[in-house]
Chain A
């Protein structure tokens, strides 16, 4: 029930892209469904990446819309679970941030979005969450090729699928505010999280 207003917002968005009555005189050449909403979703800041309309799937096989993250600051990284080197460390870096924010437990979301549309199914993401001992405030997301690419464009996380099925990608941990506006990013692996922590604390104040 909590999700209904958000769903409605997403649908409104789709509706907003449909031709208005006075313009439907001519036959429309195609579905008036835009890849991304051209106008701000009501209630969200115009810079919010939560305007991405695509539905993701969580590690618990639940459909998930990004606006569900709204209301709390979110720490987000894009990863893939087959990654042998960077991604486990990126996840650990996020866990380190979580540990340092223990006092604010429950007030911050932690999200991992997978590049690996083919292999990182909900089941695989669940396995990874268990393996890495990620708590209830973590959501691991699987999405369509287009949804993941669009999110990467919005968050400036370049990535490329390589011929061996793995991914080259930027190592970034992104802090989104309560509205889904990117406020800060921590670049690299094993980076001192002090600046990131203070950004999140500023958002929590």
Chain B
């Protein structure tokens, strides 16, 4: 019993000191930008769905890179590829890495590319380690809807669809290689897909054509689910993608960036 008490104290101490590190670590931290408060219009909606106000928040300027994630697994060995629990990351976890903590020399350019093949649990753990969190769907969509600054497209949807229409590149380009939007955020579209905190908030049939089962029985939602804008093909794809995910999935075009409340 005495031992147990001592053990608990040790843990508390460790946790407290780690908290201190967190403060120190944030000095050279990667840039974040403020996304002003706004309104999120859910893509799938029922008659009862209302627009969701989103409070201002901070979001990483670019996605977490391989280099950054290497640092994370070095400091958190439990999240190394060879040791991670399958419940929290499937067999494709960090599949593109040469070892537990390195990329193959030939893959050096990937150091500055977004880390992909990471699970939601791993992304959550990373964010927590940084003293941050994953953005919610509402936050991510609000940020993602930001107007591009320099490059001109017919429309943002056109730009996104153009990305969907191209196969994945052989080598994933580095972060900040696509476009920057009004908030100063890079690559919100056109580079990778990104995890969100509540990615599993899509309630309804995954069959996009609507009710083939009794929705009210299987889901507690007010009747038929409709789509905000049937021509928003890009929206369809994003929501469909999220709807297909499970927390331990590791996919080679799915990464993440972190958020923070203000």
- Which residues from chain A sit less than 8 Å from chain B, CB to CB? 4, 7-8, 11, 14-20, 23, 26-40, 46-49, 51, 83, 85-87, 146, 149-150, 152-154, 156-164, 167-171, 187-190
Contacts and interface: CB of A to CB of B under 8 A. Distances in A.
Given A163-B50, A171-B217, A171-B220, A18 B201 contact: no
Q: Which of B25, B84, B247 has the most CB of A within 10 A?
A: B247
26 contacts: A8-B7, A11-B11, A17-B76, A19-B75, A28-B25, A29-B29, A29-B75, A29-B130, A31-B131, A32-B75, A32-B129, A33-B129, A35-B127, A37-B78, A38-B78, A38-B122, A39-B83, A83-B220, A146-B133, A149-B197, A150-B124, A156-B246, A158-B202, A158-B203, A160-B201, A171-B220
Contacts of A30: 18, 21-22, 25-26, 128-131
Contacts of A29: 21-22, 24-26, 29, 71, 75, 129-130
Contact of B49 (A15, A162, A171): A162
B62 interface: no
A159 B128 contact: no
B85 to A, nearest CB: 5
Interface string B148-174: 000000000000000000000000000
A11 B84 contact: no
Nearest to B123: A35
Contacts of B46: 168
B210 to A, nearest CB: 16
Given A32-B75, A159-B201, A162-B50, 18 more contacts: A7-B8, A14-B11, A15-B11, A28-B18, A30-B131, A32-B18, A33-B129, A34-B76, A35-B128, A36-B124, A38-B78, A38-B122, A49-B87, A153-B120, A153-B247, A157-B200, A160-B202, A160-B203
A15 B14 contact: yes
Q: Which 4 A-B pairs have the closest CB atoms?
A: A29-B25, A31-B18, A86-B220, A38-B78
B79 interface: yes
B48 interface: yes
Interface of B: 4, 7-8, 11, 14-15, 18-19, 21-22, 24-26, 29, 46, 48-53, 71, 74-79, 83-89, 120-122, 124-125, 127-131, 133, 197-198, 200-204, 214, 217-221, 246-247
Contacts of B75: 19, 23, 26, 28-29, 32
Interface of A is mostly: loop
Contacts, number: 183
Given A30-B25, A171-B217, A51 B7 contact: no
Given A15-B14, A28-B25, A158-B203, A23 B83 contact: no
A82 to B, nearest CB: 12
Contacts of A188: 214, 217-218
A157 to B, nearest CB: 8
A159 B221 CA distance: 10
A124 B144 CA distance: 38
A49 to B, nearest CB: 8
Given A87-B220, A153-B246, A160-B198, A31 B129 contact: yes
A87 B132 CA distance: 33
B15 A38 contact: no
A47 B8 CA distance: 27
Nearest to A86: B220
B198 A168 contact: no
A169 B220 CA distance: 5
